[in-house]
Amino acid sequence: MKTTRRQFIQRTGTFAAAAATFSAGRAANVNGRFTVGIIGPGGMGSAHLSALGANPKVDIAYVCDVDSNRLAAAARSVEKLKGAAPKAVGDLRRVLEDKSVDAVFIATPDHWHAPATILACDAGKHVYVEKPASHNLREGRLMIESARRNQCVVQMGTQTRSAAGIREAMDLLHGGAIGEILVAKAWNSQRRGSIGKSQPGQPPASLDYESWIGPAPMVPFRPNLLPGIWRWWHAFGTGDFGNDGVHDIDIARWGLGVETHPSRICAMGGKYFFDDDMQWPDTQNVLFEYAPDAKGRTRQLIFEMRIWSPYVLEGHENGCAYYGTKGHMLLGKKSGWKLFAGNEVVKTGPGGPDLPAHHANFFECIVSGARPRADIEIGHLSSSLCHLGNIAIRVGRTVQFDPVKEQVVGDDAANQLVRRQYREHWATPKGV
Ligand SMILES: NC(=O)c1ccc[n+]([C@@H]2O[C@H](COP(=O)([O-])OP(=O)(O)OC[C@H]3O[C@@H](n4cnc5c(N)ncnc54)[C@H](O)[C@@H]3O)[C@@H](O)[C@H]2O)c1
């Protein structure tokens, strides 16, 4: 029988030996050091670069970006932080083919998350991938399969999962502090800017646009794709549900304690405020219903999004509420939580997030073989809520979902949106 990484570690008790033995595609992780590459060290990627730069256990061997300006800036930052320049490459395959690289951090736009993660796992690399895990539901399943097939640790970038204050709140909820939780709500209430309207134009000279598009179907460049504006286009992003909302719905689902997909999704929303090129809704209200659990309990998740609000809700720009049979809790992702018994506050605690702690958990799991706090399966369940809420809005009707087959039931148009179209490209995932 094949020995798993975890069984081997339990048997030998030596982390370095375990890493050396099981890192088929990776260099042996002796001395407790990790060699990493950062793919997409631009926006959020630069936050990873700073945190990894300050981590004495990490050697940043590569930075990889398809924008030569961002690439050069990232290489300079690493040299400043670590005293040694990394290799600076524009093609992620150069990072993946280097056997000395243990792990990659992927902070590209959403449409590259799954293709890059699957290639990385197949090359034997552990992966820290930004949220949302995937651009669509089918990709998330393929990411799980690739992680498990290659025995790689895949952590999603929902760093609130590693924040001590939020973890304490979850322990209270799961310990019955408000009784049985039947409903939880997440909200994303903030004021975003308009992305304006644009015409097709020439990409900046520093950008390898062909590689930026990757396996997605080719479309002409537009000035309001960059910087970071791609997230409002169907082909590349997942709207603000998959952008900020995924953190909130993830914390709401975590507290509610459901570890499956919902079976019914009802949503309304659209472009109620912005008159611009944004393709995703600026206003979105989604209800997710979970089929009865083993004890016969049905549960509900609610997501509210208004990205034109110059005010916050219940004191929190991004927050969650948990409704139990005995009490409730209000939780701000950043600002902390309040536990209520009746209408009285009986306990409070701090919020998050904690990026260095989320990195530390990733590295610990590479050594121990344990599943990380935002393991790809957890990431897939939470990211799928964004995808399903978006699907229900796009088709404009209630969607029935089979949580096991991961298929929409009885609605071909909605089911088409469980996956996407790709062009012929070396990074197009197999089996999509
Ligand atoms: N965890 C968080 O709190 C958090 C916060 C912000 C953004 N994010 C996530 O980080 C990701 C990036 O968002 P952003 O705002 O930094 O976007 P961005 O467009 O500013 O940065 C993405 C970078 O990836 C590069 N890139 C694109 N394709 C590439 C490829 N094939 N190979 C190498 N580099 C490539 C781009 O040139 C750019 O430098 C998104 O998925 C977003 O959801 C997470």
Per residue in 296-330, pLDDT (tens digit) is: 999 999 999 999 999 998 888 899 999 999 999 99
For the cut 50, the answer to whether the pLDDT of residue 339 exceeds it is yes
**Cα–Cα distance measured from residue 397 to residue 12, given in angstroms and rounded to the nearest whole number:** 55
- Which residue's alpha carbon is at the smallest distance from atom 38 of ligand 1? 42
- When pLDDT is averaged across residues 152-172 and rounded to a whole number, the result is 98
Greater confidence, 417 or 4?
417
Element (H, E) at 9: helix 5-12
Element (H, E) at 408: strand 407-408
Rounded to 5°, angle at Cα 339 from 335 and 345 = 100
Report the atom number in ligand 1 closest to the C-alpha of 113. Answer: 41
Those residues whose C-beta lies under 8 Å from the C-beta of residue 301, and which sit 6 or more positions away, are: 183, 184, 185, 186, 249, 252, 253, 256, 258, 262, 287, 288, 290, 385
Does the C-beta of 65 come closer than 6 Å to ligand 1?
Answer: yes
**Cα–Cα distance measured from residue 314 to residue 186, given in angstroms and rounded to the nearest whole number:** 11
Mutate to test the pocket of ligand 1, among 48, 130, 230 (most ligand atoms within 8 A of CB): 130
Report the atom number in ligand 1 closest to the C-alpha of 110. Answer: 41
Tokens (6 digits) for 309: 């609000």
The residues with which 284 forms a beta bridge, in sequence order, are 269, 305
For the cut 60, the answer to whether the pLDDT of residue 9 exceeds it is no
Does the C-beta of 78 come closer than 6 Å to ligand 1?
Answer: no
How sure is the predictor about 29, in pLDDT bands with cuts at 50, 70 and 90? Answer: low
In this prediction, residue 364 carries a pLDDT of: 97
In this prediction, residue 294 carries a pLDDT of: 94
How sure is the predictor about 12, in pLDDT bands with cuts at 50, 70 and 90? Answer: very low
**Cα–Cα distance measured from residue 338 to residue 175, given in angstroms and rounded to the nearest whole number:** 16
For the cut 70, the answer to whether the pLDDT of residue 36 exceeds it is yes
Q: Which residue has the tokens 């404009």?
A: 396
For the cut 90, the answer to whether the pLDDT of residue 4 exceeds it is no
In this prediction, residue 13 carries a pLDDT of: 31
Does the C-beta of 112 come closer than 6 Å to ligand 1?
Answer: yes
- Please list the residue range(s) of the chain that carry CATH number 3.40.50.720: 5-161+357-370
Greater confidence, 18 or 175?
175
- When pLDDT is averaged across residues 281-296 and rounded to a whole number, the result is 97
Mean pLDDT of the chain: 93
- When pLDDT is averaged across residues 172-194 and rounded to a whole number, the result is 97
Report the atom number in ligand 1 closest to the C-alpha of 214. Answer: 31
**Cα–Cα distance measured from residue 317 to residue 236, given in angstroms and rounded to the nearest whole number:** 25
- When pLDDT is averaged across residues 202-210 and rounded to a whole number, the result is 98
- Which residue's alpha carbon is at the smallest distance from atom 31 of ligand 1? 212
- When pLDDT is averaged across residues 88-101 and rounded to a whole number, the result is 98
Does the C-beta of 104 come closer than 6 Å to ligand 1?
Answer: no
For the cut 90, the answer to whether the pLDDT of residue 280 exceeds it is yes
Does the C-beta of 42 come closer than 6 Å to ligand 1?
Answer: yes
Does the C-beta of 45 come closer than 6 Å to ligand 1?
Answer: yes
Mutate to test the pocket of ligand 1, among 46, 108, 383, 426 (most ligand atoms within 8 A of CB): 108
- When pLDDT is averaged across residues 125-147 and rounded to a whole number, the result is 98
Chain segment 104-120, per-residue pLDDT in tens:
999 999 999 999 999 99
Greater confidence, 8 or 351?
351
In this prediction, residue 342 carries a pLDDT of: 87
Tell me which long-range contacts 331-335 makes (C-beta under 8 A, separation of at least 24). Answer: 331/166, 331/169, 331/251, 331/255, 333/160, 333/166, 333/247, 333/248, 333/251
What separation in Å is there between the alpha carbon of 177 and the centre of ligand 1? 38
How sure is the predictor about 11, in pLDDT bands with cuts at 50, 70 and 90? Answer: very low
Q: Which of 21-30, 33-42, 152-161, 212-221 has the lowest mean pLDDT?
A: 21-30
What separation in Å is there between the alpha carbon of 311 and the centre of ligand 1? 27
In this prediction, residue 32 carries a pLDDT of: 86
Report the atom number in ligand 1 closest to the C-alpha of 43. Answer: 16
Measuring CA to CA, how many Å separate 286 from each of 132, 256, 269, 409, 421?
18, 16, 8, 18, 25
CATH architecture of 5-161+357-370: 3-Layer(aba) Sandwich (3.40)
Report the atom number in ligand 1 closest to the C-alpha of 39. Answer: 33
Q: Which residue has the tokens 């952008």?
A: 243
- When pLDDT is averaged across residues 387-405 and rounded to a whole number, the result is 98
- When pLDDT is averaged across residues 142-158 and rounded to a whole number, the result is 98
In this prediction, residue 30 carries a pLDDT of: 54
The residues with which 315 forms a beta bridge, in sequence order, are none
Q: Which residue has the tokens 């916050």?
A: 312
What separation in Å is there between the alpha carbon of 241 and the centre of ligand 1? 16
Greater confidence, 1 or 414?
414
Mutate to test the pocket of ligand 1, among 66, 89, 280 (most ligand atoms within 8 A of CB): 66
Tokens (6 digits) for 223: 């000035």
- When pLDDT is averaged across residues 115-142 and rounded to a whole number, the result is 98
Q: Are 117 and 143 in contact (CB under 8 A)?
A: yes
What separation in Å is there between the alpha carbon of 60 and the centre of ligand 1? 18
Does the C-beta of 51 come closer than 6 Å to ligand 1?
Answer: no
Report the atom number in ligand 1 closest to the C-alpha of 45. Answer: 16
Does the C-beta of 134 come closer than 6 Å to ligand 1?
Answer: no
For the cut 50, the answer to whether the pLDDT of residue 408 exceeds it is yes
CATH architecture of 162-353+383-416: 2-Layer Sandwich (3.30)
Q: Which of 239, 245, 287, 284 is closest to 263 using CA atoms?
A: 287
In this prediction, residue 318 carries a pLDDT of: 93
Chain segment 340-349, per-residue pLDDT in tens:
998 999 999 9
Does the C-beta of 161 come closer than 6 Å to ligand 1?
Answer: no
For the cut 60, the answer to whether the pLDDT of residue 42 exceeds it is yes
DSSP string, 207-245: B-HHHHHTTSPP----GGGTTTGGGGSTTT--HHIIIII
